[in-house]
């Protein structure tokens, strides 16, 4: 059966290289050079898939990236498995495995096909209309809808392939290596422009490379021969880089483009090892030449979707390029001359054409006369009204069109066939042009949108610019490239063309039928099963905007994005609504032009590179000592150190108790550190912090609160005066980069007169905090030369010291309320000093603690964590931190906002402590706080921001923000939870040692 | 993605920069003298126009300098860049 479909005359197919592959578990053979589609067609297979909604049998329809039907699952059940791959783009290789999608149990017999019979009750918007009622049932509907949604299967295991990203800069980028793209690339490269030429196909030359017709010639040579010489010539040009199998996915502003280069998809699996599969090219071009060609339009008539119905240009390509006949009894159905080129290609190989149906009454071109000479009957002024055959077309009905083309007249006539080629003219591929921001205009005479206003230094040439005739393409390419590149086009002195086609066309968007529209299935979007009837229904129901009709009917929303049918949808809308085509515009063409794999998008940013993290200099010690880690900003911070199968709660309780009873040690290296120098450093701090800084003595530390200009708390931390004009500021871990940015902003823009210099030194120091009643003893062992007496080294002061000759800074500051020291030392000594402290603390049960214990200890003291207890809606007054806001300073960032009408409201949310009635009950952070649960709707007063069980106080403690909370001390409130209400009392946020006795105790 | 001509470094990718809102809004010298409305005008009110707009930009992954840009927000064309404190070179 299959032998007579392969005509071994193509130079693109290597007949000596037979390739076996599997489709739906059956083994077939093709040749090197075949696509999966051409190989299947050569084996007589048209039916390859089922449609999305009605599960109708569908066949290969096109020969390129516009394919809506022949989308398959590649590599069954393997880590490489990939859904929705276009069979028309897959180059076959030995061992390829593919299968049909969206069908069960098989593509030949699919249970889902019942939807086709149910189609009268499945109109556009069916799901919106049906599953609304009753509203509570949605969850049940959703389960079934989700089960049946989607095409193909995604892989379940990690992708074994390698992907990468690459930047390319060029003078001229030429997209599309058809005849005009080849000419443009040659002209650019020969005139000294660094040029990049890309094409999505595996070969150069576009459709002209297999144009062997006697009816179109260039300089008296067959087009393909002339073009081959051109290609030979440009492959040797030094200035020109050529990339095949490279599809431009996106064309952004400023000539920034993304392209996907396919490197290994055409190779047998065993040859792909350690090779990059796909590369995402990030191209920045000074000038862009778009030569993306055009896509043939189908025709819209009843049952226009059966397997065996292909675009006429696809039939031509399959025979001319792959040497494959799509059928043995062909009929062509057209409204223009291009189908006659297909006819000639078939005639030359002796493939039978039963008839040509032409919408036009009169046909007057050399090529049509030539076809007629071959005794092929041409039905002029006819249309196809119906087709027959379930898994493959076997018959069509035709009728005569009325004069105005709106109805059919006369008798119906049946014609047998096994393949129907349709041609509705051509649609310029303007997708990339519009993505770049270009504006289109509508050309009435042949009903096409063409580029009009260019938003950047770019130009469209060839048929994507609306030039369809060979003569026109070559003439306009030469003149516009010459102008665009400002060059002398001496490369092509004489180019003479002959073409046997003329451009006449009878455009009817929706062809009439003898049946009423309600009884027809004329597909506009094949993949999503949107019909002309659905579009008309949408209009009847009041939709007018093309974007709304698109979403309601799902026209153009498949993986092919409606490359074939979108124009017809527009045409049917304007015909039905009685408006002019150009007025509606088009739907938005969004990137990517063809789907990209996730692998291509992420490139090498996978695994540990997906979201990079920062490690402290002491990180390895934490790992070796069983720490669990928490992500804080980009940092990995030790969270807690479980011992002997402890859970988090047990570990944190132990750590917290040890820190207060004897000694704890914390890696605080992640805190942001900004070195501030300059004669105006004090004045600068005065302006950025709420409190006063001028009088801070050298060697002293001070806690500071930083606001935004709107008065809300932005960051906090301790800043130390190292010298007269030298400070070191610490910031929160997560806020470090933003604080530096904010300080730089004010210095550069508002206060450029200040003599202040900022440097981030976060990474330069390791910071080790030792706290607890025994901290003094431990630090004195580590730094014996340092006088730690309260007189010489009181709380909130700093000393320069040395550990084994290495300079370090020691601050006596505390975030836990305990006597504590912070040692800052050059980062690479961090780990050894940490180990020294551990060693010195052995006798004192020194206990390493993580961020969770740190949070607990500070919560006992009522110290806030910016970002946990605050959320950019709280002023220092709201936080009951009035003490830190200077009354004397004339100005600081955010000061004026502290007495706006809004910020002085009494009923703002304010920070309070919360104690549960049952001291064992620990609140959930984020839980809502209410006063009255009887009156609905229940008024939300605030929420819990921090909550812990304190092992030192032996009770549950929490912080929260509550409306008017400042004046609610002692009041009872309720935390409603899913299955209980928890009673709490508003308390002072400082739960432990309000007087600071622990901090100032004589040790 | 724009190409931005940093006045200190030259032409760089947009990904190196951070936008910082409307330009030429000067922080009042004596905020405490202002009424709530006047302070709100400085604090909150921004033009956000369609068309030619004066903006602040920061070369955050480069020299970290702030500068001004004149950009047509309707087509993203950059008309000019200039240093902080300089007068806009275009109207």
Token pair belonging to A369: 């006369």
Residue B89 has pLDDT above 90, yes or no: no
Structural contact between residues B54 and B37, judged by C-beta atoms closer than 8 angstroms = no
**Which H helix or E strand runs over A961?**
strand A955-963
Q: Is residue A890 part of a domain?
A: no
Interface mutation vs chain B, best among A748, A752, A888, most B CBs within 10 Å: A748
How do the domains of chain B map onto residue ranges? 3-83
The pLDDT of residue A142? 65
- Of B36, B40, B84, which is closest to A748 when you measure between CB atoms? B84
Quick check: A256 and B1 CB within 8 A?
A: yes
Quick check: A744 and B64 CB within 8 A?
A: yes
Task: Report pLDDT digits (tens) over A663-710.
Answer: 999 999 999 999 999 999 999 999 999 999 999 999 999 999 999 999
Of the candidates A604, A601, A602, A603, which has an alpha carbon nearest to the alpha carbon of residue A250? A601
Q: How far is CA A942 from the centre of its chain?
A: 36
Task: Report pLDDT digits (tens) over A792-816.
Answer: 999 999 999 999 999 999 999 999 9
- Of A455, A710, A891, which is closest to B32 when you measure between CB atoms? A891
The pLDDT of residue A603? 96
Residue A878 has pLDDT above 60, yes or no: yes
Structural contact between residues A883 and A694, judged by C-beta atoms closer than 8 angstroms = no
Quick check: A891 and B30 CB within 8 A?
A: yes
Query: For A301-310, A578-587, A674-683, which range has the lowest pLDDT when averaged over its residues?
Result: A578-587
**Which H helix or E strand runs over A683?**
helix A681-688
Same domain, yes or no: A169 and A255: yes
> Which residue of chain B comes nearest to A758, CA vs CA?
B64
Task: Report pLDDT digits (tens) over A597-622.
Answer: 999 999 999 988 998 999 999 999 99
Q: Is residue A803 part of a domain?
A: no
Q: Is residue A43 part of a domain?
A: yes
Residue A710: list chain B partners with CB under 8 A.
43
Interface mutation vs chain A, best among B6, B31, B55, most A CBs within 10 Å: B31
Q: What is the mean pLDDT of residues A919-946?
A: 95
Q: Select from A450, A480, A499 the last residue of a domain.
A: A499
How large is the ipTM? 0.98
Q: What is the mean pLDDT of chain A?
A: 93
Residue A749: list chain B partners with CB under 8 A.
56, 66, 84
- State the Cα–Cα distance between residues A344 and A337, nearest whole angstrom: 11
- State the Cα–Cα distance between residues A291 and A284, nearest whole angstrom: 17
The pLDDT of residue A135? 66
Same domain, yes or no: A72 and A192: no
Same domain, yes or no: A435 and A379: no
Q: What is the mean pLDDT of residues A167-196?
A: 97
What is the least distance, in Å, from the CA of A493 to any CA of chain B? 38
Number of folded domains in chain A?
A: 5
* Percentages of chain A per state (helix, strand, coil), in multiples of 5: 25, 30, 45
Show the 3-state SS of chain B. CCEEEECCCEEEEHHHCEEEEECCCCCCCCHHHCCHHHHHHHHCCCCCCCCEEEEEEECCCCCCCEEEEEEECCCCEEEEEEECCCCCCCC
The pLDDT of residue A52? 83
Same domain, yes or no: A538 and A518: yes
Same domain, yes or no: A347 and A250: no
The pLDDT of residue A77? 81
CATH code at A958? 2.40.30.110
Q: Select from A436, A469, A499 the last residue of a domain.
A: A499
Residue B38: HSE in the Cβ half-sphere, 13 Å Cα cutoff: 11
Q: Is residue A307 part of a domain?
A: no
CATH topology of domain B3-83: Folate-binding fold (3.30.2270)
> Which residue of chain B comes nearest to A897, CA vs CA?
B39
The pLDDT of residue A109? 77
Quick check: A900 and B36 CB within 8 A?
A: yes
Token pair belonging to A422: 């349709």
Interface mutation vs chain B, best among A257, A740, A896, A905, most B CBs within 10 Å: A896
Same domain, yes or no: A170 and A285: yes
Q: Residues of A at the B interface (Cβ-Cβ below 8 Å)? A: 252-254, 256, 284, 437, 455, 709-710, 741, 744-745, 748-750, 752, 890-891, 895-897, 900-901
Range of the domain at A24: 3-117
Q: How many CB pairs under 8 A join A and B?
A: 51
Residue B13: list chain A partners with CB under 8 A.
284
Show the 3-state SS of A535-584. HHHHHHCCCCCHHHHHHHHCCCCCCCCCCCCHHHHHHHHHHHHCCCHHHH
Q: What is the mean pLDDT of chain B?
A: 95
Task: Report pLDDT digits (tens) over B22-50.
Answer: 999 999 999 989 999 999 999 999 999 99
- Of A254, A744, A749, which is closest to B1 when you measure between CB atoms? A254
Going by pLDDT thresholds of 50, 70 and 90, the confidence category of residue A1 is very low
CATH code at A434? 3.50.50.60
SS3 A144: helix
Q: Is residue A537 part of a domain?
A: yes
Residue B56: list chain A partners with CB under 8 A.
749
Interface mutation vs chain B, best among A254, A747, A901, most B CBs within 10 Å: A254
> Which residue of chain A comes nearest to B86, CA vs CA?
A749
Going by pLDDT thresholds of 50, 70 and 90, the confidence category of residue A192 is very high
Same domain, yes or no: A182 and A286: yes
Residue A890: list chain B partners with CB under 8 A.
32
> Which residue of chain A comes nearest to B36, CA vs CA?
A900
Quick check: B39 and A897 CB within 8 A?
A: yes
Q: What is the mean pLDDT of residues A39-50?
A: 94
Task: Report pLDDT digits (tens) over A201-225.
Answer: 999 999 999 999 888 899 999 999 9
Q: Select from A376, A401, A423 the last residue of a domain.
A: A423
Name the region of A817 (left: φ>0; alpha: ψ -120 to 50; beta: rest): left
Going by pLDDT thresholds of 50, 70 and 90, the confidence category of residue A112 is confident
What is the least distance, in Å, from the CA of B52 to any CA of chain A? 16
Q: What is the mean pLDDT of residues A49-67?
A: 92
Same domain, yes or no: A408 and A444: no
Residue A329 has pLDDT above 90, yes or no: yes
Q: Is residue A845 part of a domain?
A: no
Residue A89 has pLDDT above 90, yes or no: yes
Q: What is the mean pLDDT of residues A508-517?
A: 94
What is the least distance, in Å, from the CA of B9 to any CA of chain A? 17
Same domain, yes or no: A14 and A110: yes
Q: Is residue A649 part of a domain?
A: no
Task: Report pLDDT digits (tens) over A747-762.
Answer: 999 999 999 999 999 9
Q: Is residue A252 part of a domain?
A: yes
Residue A565 has pLDDT above 80, yes or no: yes
Same domain, yes or no: A168 and A288: yes
Going by pLDDT thresholds of 50, 70 and 90, the confidence category of residue A143 is low
DSSP A279-315: EEEEEEEEEEEE---EEE---B-TTTT-TTEEEHHHH
Residue A525 has pLDDT above 50, yes or no: yes
């Amino acid at each position: 059966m299959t032998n007579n479909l392969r005509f071994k005359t193509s130079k693109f197919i290597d007949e000596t290289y037979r390739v076996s592959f599997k489709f739906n578990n059956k083994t077939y053979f093709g040749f090197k050079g075949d696509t999966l589609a051409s190989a299947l067609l050569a084996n007589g297979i048209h039916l390859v898939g089922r449609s999305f909604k009605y599960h109708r049998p569908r066949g290969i329809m096109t020969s390129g990236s516009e394919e809506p039907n022949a989308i398959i699952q590649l590599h069954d059940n393997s880590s490489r498995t990939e859904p929705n791959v276009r069979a028309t783009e897959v180059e076959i290789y030995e061992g390829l495995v593919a299968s049909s999608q969206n069908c069960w149990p098989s593509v030949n017999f699919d249970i889902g096909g019942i939807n086709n019979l149910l189609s009268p009750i499945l109109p556009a918007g069916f799901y919106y209309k049906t599953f609304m009622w009753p509203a509570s049932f949605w969850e049940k509907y959703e389960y079934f809808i989700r089960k049946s949604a989607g095409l193909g299967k995604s892989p379940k295991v990690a992708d074994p392939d390698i992907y990468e990203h690459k930047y390319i800069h060029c003078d001229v980028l030429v997209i599309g290596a058809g005849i005009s793209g080849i000419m443009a690339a040659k002209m650019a490269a020969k005139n000294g422009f660094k040029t990049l030429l890309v094409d999505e196909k595996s070969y150069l030359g576009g459709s002209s490379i297999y144009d062997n017709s006697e009816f179109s010639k260039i300089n008296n040579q067959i087009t393909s021969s002339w073009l081959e010489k051109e290609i030979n010539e440009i492959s040797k040009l030094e200035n020109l880089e050529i990339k095949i199998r490279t599809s431009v996915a996106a064309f952004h502003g400023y000539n920034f483009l993304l392209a996907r280069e396919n490197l290994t998809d055409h190779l047998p699996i065993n040859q792909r090892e350690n090779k990059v599969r796909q590369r995402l090219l990030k191209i920045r071009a000074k000038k862009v030449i778009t030569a993306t060609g055009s896509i043939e339009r189908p025709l819209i008539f009843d049952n226009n979707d059966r397997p065996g119905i292909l675009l006429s240009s696809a039939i031509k390509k399959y025979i001319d390029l792959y040497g494959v006949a799509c059928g043995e009894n062909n009929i062509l159905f057209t409204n223009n001359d291009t189908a006659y080129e297909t006819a000639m290609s078939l005639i030359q190989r002796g493939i039978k054409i039963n008839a040509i149906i032409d919408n036009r009454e009169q046909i007057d071109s050399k090529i049509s006369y030539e076809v007629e000479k071959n005794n092929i009957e041409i039905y002029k002024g006819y249309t196809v009204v119906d087709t027959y055959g379930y898994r493959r077309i076997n018959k069509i009905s035709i009728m005569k069109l009325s004069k105005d083309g709106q109805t059919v007249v006369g008798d119906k006539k049946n014609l047998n066939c096994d393949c129907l080629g349709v041609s509705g003219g051509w649609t310029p591929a303007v997708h990339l042009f519009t993505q770049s921001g270009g504006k289109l205009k509508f050309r009435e005479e042949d009903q096409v949108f063409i580029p009009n206003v260019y938003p950047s230094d770019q130009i469209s040439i060839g048929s994507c610019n609306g030039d369809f005739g060979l003569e026109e393409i070559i003439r306009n390419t030469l003149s516009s490239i010459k102008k665009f590149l400002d060059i002398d086009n001496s490369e092509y002195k004489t180019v003479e063309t002959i073409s046997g086609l003329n451009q006449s066309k009878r455009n009817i968007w929706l062809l009439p039928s003898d049946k009423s529209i309600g009884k027809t299935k004329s597909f506009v979007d094949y993949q999503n099963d949107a019909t002309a009837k659905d579009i008309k229904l949408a209009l009847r129901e009041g939709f007018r905007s093309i974007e709304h009709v698109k979403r309601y009917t799902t026209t153009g929303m498949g993986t092919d994005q409606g490359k074939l049918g979108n124009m017809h949808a527009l045409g049917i809308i304007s015909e039905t609504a009685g408006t002019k085509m150009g007025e509606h515009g088009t739907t938005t063409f969004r990137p990517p032009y063809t789907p990209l794999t996730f692998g291509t998008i992420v490139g090498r940013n996978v695994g540990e590179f997906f979201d990079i993290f920062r490690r402290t200099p002491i990180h390895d010690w934490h790992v070796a000592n069983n720490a669990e880690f928490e992500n804080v900003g980009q940092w990995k911070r030790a969270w807690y150190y479980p011992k002997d199968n402890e859970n988090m709660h047990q570990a944190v309780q132990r750590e917290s108790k040890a820190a207060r009873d004897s000694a704890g040690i914390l890696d605080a290296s992640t805190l942001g550190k900004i070195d501030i120098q300059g004669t105006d450093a004090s004045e600068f701090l005065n302006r950025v912090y709420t409190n006063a800084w001028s009088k801070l003595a050298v060697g002293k530390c001070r806690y500071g609160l930083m606001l935004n200009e709107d008065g809300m708390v932005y960051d906090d931390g301790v800043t130390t005066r190292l010298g007269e004009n030298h400070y070191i500021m610490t910031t929160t871990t997560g806020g470090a980069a933003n604080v530096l940015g904010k300080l730089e902003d004010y210095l550069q823009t508002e206060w450029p007169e200040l003599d202040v210099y900022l440097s981030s030194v976060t990474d330069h120091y390791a910071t080790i905090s030792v706290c607890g009643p025994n901290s003094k003893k431990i630090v004195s062992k580590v730094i014996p030369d340092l006088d730690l007496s309260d007189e010489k080294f009181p709380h909130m002061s700093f000393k320069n010291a040395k550990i084994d000759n290495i300079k370090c800074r020691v601050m006596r500051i505390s975030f836990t309320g305990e006597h504590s020291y912070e040692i800052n030392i050059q980062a690479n000594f961090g780990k050894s000093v940490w180990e020294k402290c551990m060693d010195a603390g052995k006798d004192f049960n020194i206990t390493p603690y993580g961020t969770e214990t740190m949070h607990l200890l500070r919560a006992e003291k009522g110290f806030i964590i910016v970002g946990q207890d605050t959320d950019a809606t709280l002023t220092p007054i709201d936080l009951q931190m009035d003490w830190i806001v200077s009354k004397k300073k004339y100005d600081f960032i955010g000061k004026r906002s502290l007495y706006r009408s809004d910020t002085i409201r009494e009923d703002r949310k304010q920070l309070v402590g919360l104690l549960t009635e049952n001291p064992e009950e620990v609140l959930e952070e984020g839980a809502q706080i209410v006063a009255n649960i009887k009156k609905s709707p229940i008024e939300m007063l605030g929420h819990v921001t921090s909550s812990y069980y304190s092992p030192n106080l032996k009770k549950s403690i929490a912080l929260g923000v509550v409306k008017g909370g400042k004046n609610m001390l002692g009041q009872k409130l309720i935390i409603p939870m899913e299955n209980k209400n928890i009673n709490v009392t508003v308390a002072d946020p400082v739960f432990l040692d309000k007087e600071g006795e622990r901090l100032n105790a004589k040790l | 993605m724009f190409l931005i001509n940093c006045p200190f470094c030259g032409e760089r990718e947009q990904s190196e920069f951070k936008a910082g809102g409307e330009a030429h809004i000067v922080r009042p010298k004596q905020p405490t003298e202002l009424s709530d409305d006047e302070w709100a005008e400085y604090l909150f009110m921004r033009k956000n126009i369609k068309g030619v707009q004066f903006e602040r930009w920061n070369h955050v992954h480069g020299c970290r300098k702030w500068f001004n840009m004149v950009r047509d927000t309707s087509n993203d064309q950059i008309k000019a860049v200039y240093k902080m404190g300089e007068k806009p070179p275009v109207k």
